[in-house]
Amino acid sequence: MNFKSLSLFSISFIALCFTVASAANFDIRNNCPYKVWAAAVPGGGRELSNGGVWNLNVNPGTTGARIWGRTNCQFDGAGRGRCQTGDCGGLLQCQAYGAPPNTLAEFALN
């Protein structure tokens, strides 16, 4: 390996070391005086009582992601049921975006 190749390799390696992406963490907190079922795609869903927190870890490079709240939900032991607002196909662990009406946060990680 000659000096020119070694220099190019060193510069490429250093650039690669500084472009490592990091995951993001979202703390979803229920500040409502009633129970809500938080949802995220990707991420799934959780029941949150007043003051409850869900720590959602999102992988680097995630695009087209959403977080929203669902209300008046009833789920069975298998996680199947319905929500009055923000329902996502009758699943506790959402795999698709929620149906309106819902208030949501949308994000992309670069």
- Domain boundaries along the sequence of the chain: 21-107
pTM for this entry: 0.75
* Beta-bridge partners for 47: 37
In angstroms, rounded to a whole number, what is the distance separating the alpha carbons of residues 57 and 53? 13
With a cut of 70, list the residues of the chain below it in pLDDT.
Answer: 1-22, 110
**Class for the domain spanning 21-107:** mainly beta
Contact 29, 52 (CB under 8 A): yes
DSSP 1-66: --HHHHHHHHHHHHHHHTT----EEEEEE--SSS-EEEEEETTEEEEE-TT-EEEEEE-TT--SEE
Contact 69, 81 (CB under 8 A): no
